[in-house]
Chains A and B, each alone.
Chain A
Amino acid sequence: MSHALQRSRPAGIRRGETASGWLFTAPMLVLLGLFLVVPVLMALWVSVSDWGGRGSPFSGGVSFVGLKNYATVLLGGGLAEQDFGTSLRNNAWYVILVVPTQTALSLFLAVLVNRQVLRGRGFFRTAFYFPSVTSSVAITVLFLFLFSTSGAVNGLLGWLGLNGPNWINDPDGIFHFGADSAPAVLEENTILGVPIWDWIGGPSVAMCVYIIMAVFTTSGTFMLLFLAALQNISVEVQEAAMVDGANGWQRFWRVTLPQLRPTLFTVLTLGLIGGWQVFDQIYTGTRGQPAKTTLTPAYLSYQASFTDQEWGQGAAIAFILFVIIVAFTLLQRWALRERPVSRRRMRPYQDTRGGAR
């Protein structure tokens, strides 16, 4: 269409568009270049240098150290490697638990709110979405109170006769189920300086507070995405499935869900990307404590640079995190790619078509 339009335009009015085109985009180019592109290049240099935070990283005293900072973090065998391994473990469990839960919950909420006959739809939608508009700092402050030892959550558990844990002060992995000692094999063998026993122990009780908070704050946003997609699904297909005798459950799994695939992809991708970027909450709340079980790569990268003045290591961690996020996004794109429907999955449908009817 734009081709046809272009040809029909008088040639004269196109004059000077190159100049104004660059002029109009110049502020964007300068600002994004200066604060997105240049920083990445500069950090790349810092990650392979021994800059200590004083003066310019380009001054004469700073020298090239190759991949030393990356090696220290990934293979060094010291505290830096152990901290990085710990932060990866913490964040991996966070992602594993947050992404599926928030996706399932937001889809569930969307399906509930999407009912045509529902009264008070606006109210419910507002209620579920409101946590998403508040800042991560404000919501963390609230959750620190709710999950404090004498807080609301433990108060509620007390009503039910349960003794709540110490939440944000409890470093025990939830999949250790209170076990104190580990089999020697799991204790002696380590990955990135962290014993296998700790890798499989799950997130600490403290980390679970952040996991619950993430599900609480993001489900509303993703609910809106699913709602928009649900409203675009044609009624005819649903009705056709109904005529064919599919019940509500079958209609959801066989008819609705496949049509939500693009939205599902968006939600999972956004969830995954966001899940690896936990920073604000940790900075506001526990700052990696108790026992480093709420340390995340993003917070560790900040801490290494600004607190410990290990700028090379901090930058290296940031780039490793970048690679992790890109790798997971690509992996997911591959896993959720459009595939031709396999014979096996087609069979039930072909059977009904060729069957008694």
Chain B
Amino acid sequence: MSARRIAAASVLYAVLLVLALVYIYPFLIQVATSFKTNADATANPLSLLPATATTEAYTKLFGNSDFPTWIKNSVIVTVFVTAGRVFFDSLAGYALARLRFRGRRVVFAGLVAVMSVPAVVLLIPKFLVINTLGIYDSYTGMVLPLLVDAAGVFIMKNFFESIPVSVEEQARIDGAGTFRVFASIVLPMARPALVTIIILSFQGSWNELAHFIVSTQSPEFTTLTKGVAQLANGQLSQGRQYPLKLAAAIVMTIPVAVLFFVFQRRIVTASEGAVKG
């Protein structure tokens, strides 16, 4: 290696390391600050070592607030939404990819049209329907509207189109019904795509905020996102308790972070697929 190449490589690594530090350091500060006292957090915002380490923020969150309720609600919503999306997305994706039925083109065109509606525009409209249906401020109103996502149907459709049709044909000739073929032959083959849907749905519903703002009102239905958002802007009159707020944000990040590190490779391809689809 020539001296010039070594110099170029050193510059590259230096730039990358500085950038990586910029991306990671905020999260290190976040973890460190959650173990600080209020005074220490404001006095030494940059330090990664608390002057006196304390778990006060966490004890307060879990012992003396609605935080456990928020976690419970987020878990309930995420589990149901993820399960629903896995089932309904693959069902619809399979039909659009494989079944030749009258009206399929119309359904598909409708799906494409629906996908182009920006989510934020639907904020008030969704409330109107949820309210009219009488499911405002209930788990039904929180879960039902999220049970199917157009992007997920798309991903499943693309996947089913990419696997060979011959196995299903054989099963059909042997007399299996459409649903049997789907449930016992097609779904097991679709595991990679299903994992993608699980990851995207989990992340999407766990991190969802806007929908819960317009579909619920009472504290007993508050999710983590909504609760922590209210905590952050002082609606719950918590003032400037940064350690408490940051601790809440950390607890909320842990599940998606675990998911991310477990399925890292898959997530990288999933986000590509989602966009391509």
Contacts and interface: CB of A to CB of B under 8 A. Distances in A.
Given A24-B99, A32-B114, A56 B42 contact: no
Interface string B178-197: 11001000000000000000
B248 interface: yes
Contact of A109 (B19, B120, B127, B213): B19
Interface stretch (B49-57, B59-67, B225-233): B225-233
B242 interface: yes
Interface in A113-163: 113, 115, 117-118, 123-131, 133-146, 148, 150-152, 154-156
Interface stretch (A39-47, A80-88, A197-205): A39-47
Contacts of B133: 34
B248 A35 contact: no
Scoring B95, B120, B203 by chain A CB atoms within 10 A of each residue's CB, the highest score goes to B120
A148 B145 CA distance: 37
Closest 3 CB pairs of A and B: A21-B101, A39-B125, A135-B207
A231 B47 CA distance: 39
A259 interface: no
B12 A305 contact: no
Contacts of B128: 39, 42-43, 46, 57
B121 A145 contact: no
B148 interface: yes
Tell me the dominant secondary structure on chain B's binding face.
helix
B202 to A, nearest CB: 11
B86 interface: no
Contact of B20 (A40, A127, A143, A325): A127
B122 A305 contact: no
Interface in B219-270: 224-225, 228-229, 232-233, 240, 242, 245-246, 248-250, 252-253, 256-257, 259-260, 264, 267-268
A155 B123 contact: no
A17 B169 CA distance: 13
B125 A145 contact: no
A42 to B, nearest CB: 5
Given A21-B101, A28-B148, A112-B15, A142 B271 contact: no
Interface of B: 9, 12, 15-16, 19-20, 23-24, 26-27, 29-30, 33, 41-43, 45-46, 88-89, 91-92, 94-96, 99-104, 107, 110-111, 114, 116-129, 132-133, 144-145, 147-148, 150, 153, 165, 169, 172-173, 178-179, 182, 203, 206-207, 209-210, 213-214, 224-225, 228-229, 232-233, 240, 242, 245-246, 248-250, 252-253, 256-257, 259-260, 264, 267-268, 271-272, 275
Contacts of B41: 145
A152 B19 CA distance: 17
A302 B123 contact: yes
B41 to A, nearest CB: 8
A336 interface: no
Given A152-B46, A321-B121, A138 B100 contact: no
Contacts of B268: 125, 129, 224
Interface string A42-59: 110010000000001100
Contacts of B127: 305
Interface stretch (A64-72, A92-100, A184-192, A270-278): A270-278
Contacts of B245: 141, 144-145
Contacts of B30: 142, 145
A182 B276 CA distance: 48
A36 interface: yes
Contact of B209 (A130, A135, A311): A135
A326 B20 CA distance: 36
A17 B104 CA distance: 11
Given A31-B88, A40-B117, A141-B228, A136 B207 contact: yes
Given A39-B128, A57-B128, A146-B26, A128 B20 contact: yes
